[in-house]
Structure 1
Amino acid sequence: MNAPATDRVLKGLALRLFAILCLATMSALVKLVEARGAALPETMFFRQLCALPLVLGWLALGQGVGAVRTQRIGAHLLRTGVGLLGMVATFGALILLPLAEATTLSFTVPIFATILGALVLKEPTGWPRWTAVLVGFGGVLIVAQPGSGHFPLVGALVGLTSAFLIAVISILLRQIGRTESAGTTVFWFSLLSLPPLGIVYLFFAQPHDSLTWTILVAIGLIGGTGQLALTGALRYAPVSAAVPMDYSSLLWATLYGWLFFGVWPTSYTWIGAPIIIGSGLTIAWREHRRQRLASRSAASVTQRAEL
């Protein structure tokens, strides 16, 4: 019984690593296409437009297209609104900052998720997790070096705003996920985001050369593939095992930053990134431990009731 279980976890981790590669590649393409003259609304529109067929195909091969039916359209509208704001901030940070620095700031999502979980969901948060939060923000200060002038302050604020909004989205997804499948949620986000993005796109649409058009389409296809791979990974591997794979994105961001833009991370980034990553891993481990204790407690209550 152990071998099949181990194989499933390894499959989940491989999918997660593949998803992170896709999303890191998409991030590099976002920065590259902006350098070639594409406006942010154009990039966002093609990101969602080209991903939608992938989502529909994935649903058709799995749950069936009927899985898109929902009774919670209001929740999906809220998730779409916050998701679009998060996409603006995420793509904005990629444009304003070097890839490695933008990626490093994205690692603060668990920190913001911990704060929001404690304040909004009233989740129990002990001193070890609060310590990890403070240490993580210390890592952010090392990377950003506020006041030194080496790091664009606006870019840092946009990057942290992106991480905060992604943490908000994670809480919304946790609530939506009680009744909706991941595929249903991805579909409605893709579909509902297209009308507002399409309207804005009309004001920014412009001619491009064939390579730029190819990159715009690739952003949607690669980003959509990565999003589906993230969802698929959690079918096989628990969150506590899958999340550490996300930090491999810094390796890809460093490689793409050097390959496409000739930029290497600063020494402050190399010092601060491990601190932020360590903070995130500590938070993930504490969350995993809390869930295991809750599961054991629930099982104990069930056994007593049966007796």
Structure 2
Amino acid sequence: MNTKTSNPALGIFWMICTGLCFVGMTATVKLLAGRVPAAESAFLRYLLGLVFVIPAWRSLRDLRLTGRQLRLASLRGATQTLGVICWFFAMTRIPMAEVTAMNYLTPIYVTVLAVFFLGERLALRRILAILAALGGAILILRPGFRELDPGHFAMLGTSLMFGISYLIAKMITDELSPAIVVALLSITVTIGLFPFALAVWVWPSWSDLGILFLVACFATGGHYAMTLAFASAPVTVTQPATFLQLVWSVLVGAVFFGEGVDPYVVAGGLVIIGSVLFITLREAMLKRRVTPSGPDTKF
């Protein structure tokens, strides 16, 4: 970004708004309390969210995808579909703070996967940062010291699927506009979720539909605010603000949902956050950008 047009204060403000939207989205999903199955909740969230794709319908109508672009868009939709189902399932099983902390593993997955799919090289310091992040994940999960919930394994799968989705997005954003990339994701995920939702379908109440539409609003607002943040200041300036999501998740979970504050989860999350921050700063110094700045994948 041109430093003459950089506005660090505005960038940080928009990134704080991003975090608040994503925490709001997470808390809103919690309100469903499992009344609507995870796959159906995810489907309805994306279906209702298609209203935000309407402004791009002319571009979509005239779009002519190559075979490669179609395959990549379909693969991204499939991986995102699985990730979203796992995320909605995890939200019904484990505390908000654990969901948020484990979601920070996505950039670590991206860094590792980039070695195999984008030809990235891992220097010793980046390898050590990855190992530290894995240590943070172990600190959160503490296998052998407590009983792990299926929600924990779902979040591990969520981070991996979102990491693959992010990498595919990096591969096609040079060929398609960001608006088209987001629109294609919304459409393919809605289609991908439909059979899973149909298999467990229960008729939601009007209030639950309202909650899911609010989830879609928070998600869309979060990604729009994140785009404004990246346009206002360099990622190395805005990134630290993304990690306030962990603080807010702990507070919201404790105050509104009676979730205890687990110091191991907070400590593990901070270790992962530190690892992601180190990797991102190193990439900025080396003038390349692969790792996402935080949990900025599309829910």
Measured against the shorter chain, the TM-score band is: 0.7 to 0.9
C-alpha separation in 2, matches of 1:70 and 1:26: 33
Return the alpha-carbon distance in structure 2 between the equivalents of residues 236 and 96 of structure 1: 37
Superposition pairs for residues 208-247 of structure 1, below 5 Å?
Answer: 208-247=204-243
Cα offset, 1:271, TM superposition: 2.2
Do the aligned residues in 2 keep the contact of 1:82 with 1:165 (CA within 8 Å)? yes
With structure 1 as the length reference, what TM-score do the two structures score?
Answer: 0.84
Give the alignment's TM-score, normalised by structure 2: 0.86
The 5 A counterparts of 1:1-307 are 5-7=5-7, 9-33=8-32, 35=33, 37-57=35-55, 59=56, 65-66=58-59, 69-71=63-65, 72-149=69-146, 152-291=148-287
256-265 or 282-291, which moves further after superposition? 256-265
CA distance in 2, matches of 1:4, 1:54: 32
Give % identity: 26
Measure the CA separation in 1 of the matches of 2:169 and 2:155: 21
Shift of 1:14: 2.3
Count of aligned pairs: 284
* Closer, same or farther: CA 156–3 of 1 in aligned 2, 3 Å: closer
Q: Which has the larger radius of gyration?
A: 1
229-238 or 246-255, larger mean C-alpha shift: 229-238
**Superimposed CA distance per residue, residues 231-272 of structure 1 (whole angstroms, 9 cap, x where no aligned partner):** 343233333333332211112211221133101221211322
Structure 1: runs of 5 or more not aligned: 294-307
- Are the structure 2 counterparts of residues 166 and 208 from structure 1 closer, same or farther at C-alpha, using a change threshold of 3 Å? closer
**In 2, distance between residues paired with 1:66 and 1:155?**
39
Query: How far apart, CA to CA, are the structure 1 residues paired with 2:288 and 2:186?
Result: 34
Give the superposed CA RMSD: 2.4
Contact 1:97 1:152 in 2 (8 A): no
C-alpha separation in 1, matches of 2:227 and 2:89:
24
Does the Cα contact within 8 Å between 2:77 and 2:192 map onto a contact in 1?
A: no
Which has the larger displacement, 162-171 or 47-56?
47-56
Are the aligned partners of 1:146 and 1:153 in contact in 2 as well (CA < 8 Å)? Answer: no
Q: Distance in 1 between matches of 2:80 and 2:250?
A: 26
Deviation at 1:3, TM superposition (A): 8.7
